Amino acid sequence: MNGPLRGIHVNAWTPATDWTLRRARPALVKSLDWSTDWARAVSDYDIRVLILRKWADDDSSMVPSPAAAAERLWRRFAADFDRMQAALAGTPATAYIETPWNEVHQETPDHLARLAEACARFVELAHAAGWKVLVGNFSVTWPLVDHFPAFAPALAVADGYSHHEYWMPGQLLPGEWTARAGLLYATLPADCPRPPVYVTECGIDNVDGTRPTNQYGWRSYSRPGAAYVAELDAFAASQPPIVAGLTVFNCGEIGTRWKSFEIAESGSVADWLAAGPRDWRPSVQLPVEVTMSNPYGYLVGSGFEAKAKELGWKLLSDELYHDPADRSDPKRTAFSEAFCDKGRLYWHKDTGVVACPF
């Protein structure tokens, strides 16, 4: 079977995690839980790739410098890295550490350049200790396509790249919310390495910001597991060939924050995971052409380009398309927007392009 490996994202090893491992036998696991029992699980459940990340959201600062920040976090977790490495010795799985910065330092080219410097130093330390490393760990829609080359120094030394992709029910929006790896890689210099991509969080989420607290995930909708599986299947099929694997968020939780994402005890989701490929091999990937339509290099429509030129505004973002979550309400219809230095451009079929100054 072709396509990316199918896997699970584990926050904590709970009975829910045990249930999913037994039923799904996923080829890929990403875990924030550093139990050395993963060494046993690799053999018991035929896990081919294990991605481990340390929770460090309490220390994401780049002070006093990106390299110093990387060294500080490496020292903080070095004992755990050594302990896990010893436990996994001799197991057949490919094991990665994912860099500890989670969905931060991603909004501007300067942020990305500083994060790339930190990641490069972290990779250097990890390689010296015998680990493979994934860099990135960016959130859905980030970074902007034309900003991505600023992250190239991290990709040049890493063993893989990771980011997160989420969507609203029935709205994958490839290129905006999902299936972004090909577009991002197309912006890199020709001589920049393009390591395999892992989508280390994915699933239905509150991407458009309309859902109540704690009702973001697939279980908060009236959607049987079979419907979710159909969307997961379409999501996996839409990924470009450079994507080696994806991990569905989430399995195993202490507390209630992520309960609406829980995939444990969903037989249909577990069976979908079990039916996925056991191995991934790089294939020949045709380059993805990114068409720029304005002087600043951003992806926008001609209407936005003309309006910005008329106003003398500078475009600062891609054109962002928003599809309504609730299609049963005729008042909620699609619109798109782009951000400029002096305001926001808004398009709706009833209004055309409208300028909204800051």
Instruction: Give the highest mean pLDDT range of 63-72, 246-255, 280-289, 321-330.
Output: 63-72
Burial of 98 (0-12, 13-18, 19+ CB in 10 A): buried
Question: Are residues 207 and 266 located together in one domain of the fold?
Answer: yes
Residue 296: what pLDDT? 47
Asked if residue 339 and residue 262 are part of one domain, the reply reads no
Res 358: pLDDT? 63
Is 18's pLDDT higher than 50? yes
**pLDDT (0 to 100) of residue 288:** 45
Task: Give the range of the structural domain holding residue 351, as residue numbers without chain letter.
Answer: 302-357
Domain co-membership, 116 together with 232: yes
Number of domains in the chain: 2
Tokens, residue 198:
């892992």
Q: What is the pLDDT of residue 272?
A: 97
Task: Establish if 45 belongs to a structural domain.
Answer: yes
What pLDDT is attached to residue 284?
Answer: 53
Would the pLDDT of 314 be above 70?
yes
Residue bearing the bigger pLDDT, 11 or 343 = 11
Pair (270, 317) in one structural domain: no
* 78 half-sphere exposure, CB direction, 13 A CA radius: 12
The stretches of the chain forming alpha helices (DSSP H) are 15-24, 38-45, 66-88, 109-128, 152-155, 181-186, 225-237, 267-274, 302-311
Supply the pTM of this predicted model.
0.80
Do residues 168 and 262 share a domain? yes
Q: What is the pLDDT of residue 158?
A: 98
Instruction: State how far the Cα of 98 lies from the Cα of 117, in Å rounded to an integer.
Output: 15
Q: Is residue 336 part of a domain?
A: yes
CB 59 within 8 A of CB 72: yes
**pLDDT tens-digit profile of 203-218?**
999 898 888 777 889 9
Torsion from C-alpha of 232, 270, 48, 164, nearest 10 degrees: 30
Can you say whether the dihedral through the CA atoms of 143, 148, 154, 157 is positive or negative? positive
What span, in angstroms and rounded, lies between the C-alpha atoms of 319 and 311? Answer: 17
Based on the domain organization, do 187 and 60 belong to the same domain? yes
At 332 the pLDDT is 59
- Residue 330's pLDDT is what? 63
Residue 282 in any domain: the answer is no
Q: How confident is the model at residue 268 (pLDDT cuts 50, 70, 90)?
A: very high
Of 60-64, 259-263, 349-353, which gets the smallest average pLDDT? 349-353
In a domain, 279, yes or no: no
**Same-domain status, 192 and 317:** no
Q: Is residue 11 part of a domain?
A: yes
Does one domain contain both 149 and 29?
yes
Judge whether residue 109 has pLDDT over 70. yes
pLDDT of residue 291: 44
CATH number of the domain bearing residue 59: 3.20.20.80
pLDDT at position 58, please?
95
